[in-house]
């Protein structure tokens, strides 16, 4: 067992005397030795043909674990955060649009990467999140492939699509992508690492052997920061560099706004200054207070995540005035520079400690990293303040309501906001967890998706259903009390209304 004082020191909250420090250092060495022995045992349980791969992945985990033990405090000294330089973030409106004659040449230097490791469990779906239907019977993956195919056909290029899968999504994704064989899209996949969850008290792996399928709960994909090393290990990074491709555009597969942007690509390929890493940021609103932000630290531009913020500064971190931008996780990274950073062993990403409780009540921790945290490791890093339309993630059914509605039209796999929408911002939607959080339940509650063109804010709580042709405008709040049910009739127009359990309609 690891002593409580060691756990606190690892977490950075303990201040100890010199005698205690010596004890803790010895305990840390002991923990590392035990872990390495246990990981060696796990490797030995793998079939001989798989042992080299398992050993490589567990070596990566050992490196993470060593750093986890060594980190004795927050990775950022709050007092040393500097003001962002005036040229740290470029306004998207200031970027030049390339002429049509150079687009063919430019696009052939690009690789599109989608982070496809997540499951749809938070929305009540089984299998990869990318196969959830989001619009016109098309999935996230369908829309992505449509976008790339349209790009390739329009400009007579061959932009490859790369999917980073996890052990959770790989098998299903490989089956799904067969249906795209006859399309004008070259699709590659690779798997990110698979790391063992560790017992929070003993800091030892809970896995008994390396057969992931026998105990899925004992393993986890270690966050999208694992992209760089796994991309290299797959051989794809070397392949694309040898082909003369220069940049990859990385984004989450559930961000429907993350399409290839030729203005940003033009900035990367035709700028006087080399930018090896560009992060798309957008203006922070009160809905984004937990999102990562850009800071200047030790003369470098870097990503600051809420997990790195000392407790006493969390409210300041959430301030829209102090930190104006947040990370969309749309990233553009120079491919040869990734090779250089890995070769120089310069990729030291901040560790995110993610605590979980398993179905048997056991408390475990996952050591993860974020793909955007690599920003500080690259030369000429830059933020680009993009329109909000480039950040359209679907994390909950409330997001699904928006992308399925008449707020957007679908064009070549891309969602375009309706010109009839008077405001550039999307409505704020809150749907009650008990009745709306799962996709299947959510769909059963709408005869069809309401007209949201003039909606500012919608809150729905309780047992509520919507008839056909409902129109919601301004601020609409619908609350069915426990035991009550509210059926919004077909054709209803609710504008600035509060609908409560007894169907009284009040002006808001």
The catalytic site residues sit at: 395
Q: Say how far apart CA 261 and CA 54 lie, in whole Å.
A: 38
Pick the closest to residue 372 from 352, 392, 355 (CA basis): 352
Pick the closest to residue 382 from 290, 247, 488 (CA basis): 247
Q: Is 78 exposed, middle or buried, given 0-12, 13-18 or 19+ CB atoms closer than 10 A?
A: middle
Q: Say how far apart CA 66 and CA 89 lie, in whole Å.
A: 34
Question: Do strands 382-385 and 89-91 pair parallel, antiparallel, or not at all (unpaired)?
Answer: parallel
Q: Say how far apart CA 43 and CA 50 lie, in whole Å.
A: 9
Q: Say how far apart CA 133 and CA 360 lie, in whole Å.
A: 32
Distance set, CA 101 to CA 108, 155, 159, 426 (Å): 13, 10, 17, 35
Q: Say how far apart CA 380 and CA 279 lie, in whole Å.
A: 11
Q: Say how far apart CA 112 and CA 212 lie, in whole Å.
A: 29
- Tell me the DSSP string of 360-393: TS-EEEEEE--GGGGGGGSTT-EEEE--GGG--B
What is the Cβ-side half-sphere exposure of residue 378, based on CA atoms within 13 angstroms? 27
| Token output for 362 | 């056991």
Instruction: Tell me if 159 sits within 8 A of 111, measured CB to CB.
Output: yes
Instruction: Tell me if 451 sits within 8 A of 472, measured CB to CB.
Output: yes
| Token output for 296 | 């200047």
Pick the closest to residue 348 from 381, 375, 318 (CA basis): 375
Residue 322 is classified by DSSP as: T
Report residue 498: phi and psi, to 5°: -110, 120
Instruction: Tell me if 437 sits within 8 A of 396, measured CB to CB.
Output: yes
Pick the closest to residue 281 from 387, 374, 414 (CA basis): 387
Question: Do strands 363-368 and 352-357 pair parallel, antiparallel, or not at all (unpaired)?
Answer: antiparallel
Q: Is 425 exposed, middle or buried, given 0-12, 13-18 or 19+ CB atoms closer than 10 A?
A: exposed
């Amino acid at each position: 067992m690891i002593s409580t004082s060691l756990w606190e020191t690892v977490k950075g909250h303990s201040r100890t005397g010199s005698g205690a420090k010596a004890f803790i250092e010895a305990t840390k060495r002991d923990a590392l030795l035990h872990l390495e022995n246990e990981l060696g045992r796990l490797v030995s349980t793998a079939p001989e043909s798989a042992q080299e791969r398992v050993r490589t992945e567990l070596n990566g985990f050992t490196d993470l674990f060593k750093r986890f033990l060594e980190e004795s405090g927050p990775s950022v000294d709050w007092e040393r955060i500097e003001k962002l330089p005036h040229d740290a973030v470029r306004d998207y409106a200031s970027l030049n649009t390339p002429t049509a004659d150079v687009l063919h040449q430019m696009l052939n230097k690009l690789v599109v990467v989608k982070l496809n490791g997540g499951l749809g469990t938070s929305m009540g779906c089984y299998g990869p999140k990318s196969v959830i239907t989001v619009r016109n019977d098309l999935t996230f993956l369908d829309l992505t492939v449509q976008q790339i195919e349209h790009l390739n056909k329009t400009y007579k290029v061959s932009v490859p699509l790369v999917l980073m899968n996890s052990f959770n999504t790989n098998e299903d994704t490989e089956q799904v992508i067969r249906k795209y064989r006859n399309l004008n899209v070259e699709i590659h996949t690779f798997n990110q690492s698979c790391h063992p969850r560790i017992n929070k008290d003993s800091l030892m792996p809970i896995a008994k052997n390396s057969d992931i399928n026998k105990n899925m709960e004992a393993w986890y994909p270690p966050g999208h920061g694992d992209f760089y090393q796994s991309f290299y290990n797959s051989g794809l990074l070397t392949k694309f560099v040898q082909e003369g491709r220069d940049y990859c555009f990385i984004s989450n597969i559930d961000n429907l706004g993350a399409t290839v942007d030729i203005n940003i690509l033009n900035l990367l390929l035709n700028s006087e200054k080399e930018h090896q890493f560009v992060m798309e940021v957008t203006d922070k609103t009160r809905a984004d207070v937990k999102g990562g932000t850009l800071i200047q630290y030790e003369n470098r531009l870097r990503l600051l995540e809420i997990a790195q913020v000392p407790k006493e500064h969390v409210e300041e971190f959430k301030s829209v005035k102090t930190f104006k931008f947040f990370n969309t996780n749309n990233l553009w990274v120079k491919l040869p520079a990734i090779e250089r950073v890995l070769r120089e062993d310069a990729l030291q990403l901040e560790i995110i400690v993610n605590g979980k409780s398993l179905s048997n009540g056991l408390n475990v921790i996952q050591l993860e990293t974020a793909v955007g945290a690599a920003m500080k490791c690259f030369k000429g890093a830059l933020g680009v303040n993009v329109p909000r339309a480039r950040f359209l993630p679907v994390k909950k059914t409330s997001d699904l309501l928006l992308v399925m509605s008449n707020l957007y039209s679908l064009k070549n796999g891309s969602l375009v906001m309706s010109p009839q929408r008077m405001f550039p911002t999307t409505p704020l939607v809150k749907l009650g967890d008990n009745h709306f959080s799962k996709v299947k339940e959510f769909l059963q509650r709408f005869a069809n998706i309401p007209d949201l063109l003039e909606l500012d804010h919608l809150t729905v709580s309780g047992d509520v259903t919507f008839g056909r042709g409902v129109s919601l405008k301004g601020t609409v709040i619908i609350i069915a009390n426990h035991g009550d049910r509210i059926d919004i009739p077909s054709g209803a127009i609710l504008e600035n209304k509060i609908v409560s359990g007894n169907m009284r309609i009040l002006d808001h």
